[in-house]
Amino acid sequence: MRDKADFIAYVEARSPRLLRTAYLLCRDWAQAEDLVQTALVRAWRAWGRVGEHPDAYVSRILVNTHLSWRSRLWWRELPTDEPPEKASPGDEIGLSDERAVLWAALGRLPPRQRAVLVLRFFEDLPESAVAQILNCSIGTVKSQTSKALAKLRIDPDLLPPAATSPVRREL
């Protein structure tokens, strides 16, 4: 059975990465810290039965806690319409601005779709693992990914002034 020392070692090793994932979900460092701690406290309750690879279990708690907070508590969350970055000195072609626009567009996605993108493209999880975490089918993961990317593609702030760019179709 996994014990407390094992749990603490897991927290120390994995919580920085979990914090990053949590931040990408909720977009606020203080909330992300709270989300990670809440998820780990919940994980501890079942630590004895999570098996040798607790990542999927903890990620599932993290994402589901985030989604439940979103629906229950977080109407006050500021999903960030504000560009979070200032242009860096070397940013002569406005790259930071473009990234800020994409970041803001990500913030406008529904939480579940954003979660799919974070799990797929930040955690680099396969669709089957994402489906397990979100408790849905692989087909749903595919469709949610596709819808999220489509929303980004047609986000007014990301649309170029002219017609659709061929490169855009990569997204």
Site of interaction with another protein (CB under 8 A) = 1-4, 7-8, 11-12, 15-16, 19-21, 23-24, 28-31, 33-34, 36-38, 40-41, 44-49, 69, 72-78, 84, 98-99, 101-103, 106, 117-118, 121-122, 152, 158, 160, 165, 167-168, 170-171
Question: Residues near 160 by Cβ (< 8 Å), separated by ≥ 6?
Answer: 168
Read off the amino acid at residue 50: V
CA distance 131 to 148: 15
CB of 111 to another protein, least distance (A): 15
CB of 77 to another protein, least distance (A): 7
Identity of the residue, 83 or 140, whose beta carbon is nearer to another protein in the bound complex: 83
Identity of the residue, 73 or 87, whose beta carbon is nearer to another protein in the bound complex: 73
CB of 158 to another protein, least distance (A): 6
CB of 101 to another protein, least distance (A): 6
Residue 99 is inside which H or E element, if any?
helix 95-107
CA distance 24 to 141: 18
Identity of the residue, 87 or 171, whose beta carbon is nearer to another protein in the bound complex: 171
Residue 119 is inside which H or E element, if any?
helix 111-121
CB of 144 to another protein, least distance (A): 15
Nearest 5°: the CA angle 97, 78, 125 is 75
Identity of the residue, 128 or 165, whose beta carbon is nearer to another protein in the bound complex: 165
Identity of the residue, 139 or 154, whose beta carbon is nearer to another protein in the bound complex: 154
CA distance 44 to 4: 9
Residue with tokens 């914090």: 19
CA distance 101 to 83: 7
